[in-house]
Protein backbone atom coordinates (compact mmCIF):
# COMPACT_ATOMS: atom_id res chain seq x y z
CA UNK A 1 0.00 0.00 0.00
CA UNK A 2 1.47 3.43 -0.89
CA UNK A 3 2.25 5.76 1.96
CA UNK A 4 2.74 9.51 1.92
CA UNK A 5 5.93 10.74 0.24
CA UNK A 6 7.10 14.15 -0.87
CA UNK A 7 10.39 15.36 -2.35
CA UNK A 8 11.59 18.96 -2.14
CA UNK A 9 14.64 20.91 -3.21
CA UNK A 10 15.51 23.29 -0.39
CA UNK A 11 17.77 26.30 -0.90
CA UNK A 12 19.69 25.56 2.29
CA UNK A 13 22.57 23.29 3.25
CA UNK A 14 21.98 19.77 4.56
CA UNK A 15 23.32 20.91 7.95
CA UNK A 16 20.76 23.75 8.08
CA UNK A 17 17.93 21.36 7.20
CA UNK A 18 19.16 18.81 9.75
CA UNK A 19 19.13 21.51 12.46
CA UNK A 20 15.55 22.43 11.50
CA UNK A 21 14.55 18.79 12.08
CA UNK A 22 16.46 18.14 15.29
CA UNK A 23 16.52 21.27 17.46
CA UNK A 24 13.85 23.01 19.56
CA UNK A 25 14.31 26.24 17.56
CA UNK A 26 14.03 24.30 14.31
CA UNK A 27 10.84 22.38 15.11
CA UNK A 28 9.25 25.52 16.58
CA UNK A 29 10.16 27.39 13.40
CA UNK A 30 8.24 25.18 10.98
CA UNK A 31 6.00 22.60 12.71
CA UNK A 32 4.75 23.50 16.20
CA UNK A 33 5.84 26.05 18.76
CA UNK A 34 4.79 23.61 21.53
CA UNK A 35 7.30 20.77 21.43
CA UNK A 36 10.04 18.96 23.33
CA UNK A 37 12.98 18.11 21.10
CA UNK A 38 15.87 16.13 22.57
CA UNK A 39 18.78 15.27 20.30
CA UNK A 40 19.61 11.64 21.07
CA UNK A 41 18.67 8.33 19.51
CA UNK A 42 16.18 6.60 21.79
CA UNK A 43 14.80 9.85 23.22
CA UNK A 44 11.23 11.05 22.67
CA UNK A 45 10.24 14.05 20.57
CA UNK A 46 6.86 15.47 21.65
CA UNK A 47 4.87 17.75 19.37
CA UNK A 48 1.61 19.32 20.52
CA UNK A 49 -1.17 21.14 18.66
CA UNK A 50 -3.45 22.41 21.48
CA UNK A 51 -5.57 19.28 22.23
CA UNK A 52 -3.71 17.02 19.77
CA UNK A 53 -0.30 15.50 20.42
CA UNK A 54 2.23 13.11 18.97
CA UNK A 55 5.24 11.38 20.53
CA UNK A 56 8.08 9.97 18.44
CA UNK A 57 11.01 7.78 19.43
CA UNK A 58 14.14 8.99 17.68
CA UNK A 59 15.34 5.97 15.68
CA UNK A 60 18.10 7.53 13.56
CA UNK A 61 20.12 10.74 13.48
CA UNK A 62 22.83 11.17 10.86
CA UNK A 63 23.94 14.81 10.82
CA UNK A 64 23.36 16.38 7.43
CA UNK A 65 21.97 13.08 6.05
CA UNK A 66 18.97 11.54 7.80
CA UNK A 67 16.40 11.75 10.58
CA UNK A 68 13.95 8.97 11.43
CA UNK A 69 11.27 8.88 14.11
CA UNK A 70 8.73 6.19 15.06
CA UNK A 71 5.39 7.35 16.46
CA UNK A 72 4.80 5.85 19.92
CA UNK A 73 1.75 7.87 21.01
CA UNK A 74 -0.74 10.03 19.17
CA UNK A 75 -4.03 11.73 19.76
CA UNK A 76 -5.66 13.63 16.90
CA UNK A 77 -8.53 15.58 18.43
CA UNK A 78 -11.00 15.70 15.55
CA UNK A 79 -14.63 14.56 15.89
CA UNK A 80 -14.72 13.02 12.39
CA UNK A 81 -12.06 10.47 13.34
CA UNK A 82 -13.09 7.26 15.06
CA UNK A 83 -9.50 6.17 15.65
CA UNK A 84 -7.63 9.17 16.97
CA UNK A 85 -4.34 7.34 17.47
CA UNK A 86 -3.82 6.13 13.88
CA UNK A 87 -0.27 7.45 13.72
CA UNK A 88 1.01 5.04 16.38
CA UNK A 89 3.55 2.70 14.78
CA UNK A 90 4.08 4.89 11.71
CA UNK A 91 7.54 6.23 10.84
CA UNK A 92 8.73 9.61 9.63
CA UNK A 93 11.86 9.60 7.46
CA UNK A 94 13.72 12.67 6.30
CA UNK A 95 16.55 11.78 3.90
CA UNK A 96 18.88 14.65 2.98
CA UNK A 97 21.30 14.81 0.06
CA UNK A 98 23.52 17.69 -1.06
CA UNK A 99 22.41 19.32 -4.31
CA UNK A 100 23.70 22.03 -6.64
CA UNK A 101 24.61 25.47 -5.29
CA UNK A 102 24.56 24.38 -1.63
CA UNK A 103 20.94 23.21 -1.77
CA UNK A 104 19.48 20.05 -0.27
CA UNK A 105 17.30 17.36 -1.80
CA UNK A 106 14.81 16.27 0.85
CA UNK A 107 13.04 12.93 0.44
CA UNK A 108 10.31 12.74 3.08
CA UNK A 109 8.12 9.75 3.73
CA UNK A 110 5.55 8.98 6.37
CA UNK A 111 5.58 5.20 6.30
CA UNK A 112 2.21 3.88 7.44
CA UNK A 113 0.25 7.01 6.52
CA UNK A 114 -1.83 5.22 3.88
CA UNK A 115 -5.13 5.95 2.11
CA UNK A 116 -6.88 3.29 4.24
CA UNK A 117 -6.48 5.45 7.38
CA UNK A 118 -9.36 7.72 8.39
CA UNK A 119 -6.93 10.62 8.83
CA UNK A 120 -5.11 10.17 5.49
CA UNK A 121 -6.53 13.11 3.52
CA UNK A 122 -6.32 15.48 6.47
CA UNK A 123 -2.75 14.43 7.29
CA UNK A 124 -1.64 14.49 3.65
CA UNK A 125 -2.80 18.10 3.42
CA UNK A 126 -1.15 18.83 6.76
CA UNK A 127 2.19 17.43 5.60
CA UNK A 128 2.03 19.46 2.40
CA UNK A 129 1.42 22.58 4.49
CA UNK A 130 4.12 21.85 7.06
CA UNK A 131 6.74 20.71 4.54
CA UNK A 132 6.14 24.01 2.75
CA UNK A 133 6.64 25.69 6.11
CA UNK A 134 9.92 23.77 6.56
CA UNK A 135 11.05 24.99 3.13
CA UNK A 136 10.26 28.62 3.98
CA UNK A 137 11.93 28.28 7.38
CA UNK A 138 15.25 26.92 6.08
CA UNK A 139 15.29 29.30 3.10
CA UNK A 140 14.16 32.53 4.80
CA UNK A 141 14.24 31.94 8.56
CA UNK A 142 10.43 32.30 8.76
CA UNK A 143 8.18 29.27 8.58
CA UNK A 144 4.48 28.98 9.39
CA UNK A 145 4.32 26.57 12.33
CA UNK A 146 1.24 25.70 14.33
CA UNK A 147 0.79 28.24 17.12
CA UNK A 148 -0.99 27.52 20.38
CA UNK A 149 -4.49 29.01 20.55
CA UNK A 150 -3.31 31.34 23.31
CA UNK A 151 -0.60 32.73 20.99
CA UNK A 152 -2.68 33.24 17.83
pLDDT by position in tens, the chain (length 152): 689 999 999 999 999 999 999 999 999 999 999 999 998 999 999 999 988 899 999 999 999 999 999 999 999 988 888 889 999 999 999 999 999 999 999 999 999 999 999 999 999 999 999 999 999 999 999 999 998 766 65
Residue 123 lies in a domain: yes
Residue 150 lies in a domain: no
Three-state secondary structure readout of 4-66: EEEEEEECCCHHHHHHHHHCHHHHHHHCECCEECCCCCCCEEEEEECCEEEEEEEEEEECCCE
Domain count, the chain: 1
> CATH no. for residue 83?
3.30.530.20
Residue 69 lies in a domain: yes
Domain that residue 29 falls in: 4-144
Residue 20 lies in a domain: yes
Residue 73 lies in a domain: yes
Question: Is the whole-model pTM more than 0.85?
Answer: yes
Residue 152 lies in a domain: no
∠ CA 22-25-29, nearest 5°, is: 100
Residue 151 lies in a domain: no
Residue 17 lies in a domain: yes
Amino acid sequence: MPHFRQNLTLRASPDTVFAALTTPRGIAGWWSDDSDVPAAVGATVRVRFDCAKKDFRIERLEPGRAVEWRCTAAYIDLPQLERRSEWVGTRLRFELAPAANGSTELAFEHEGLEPTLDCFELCRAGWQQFLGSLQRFVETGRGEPYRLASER
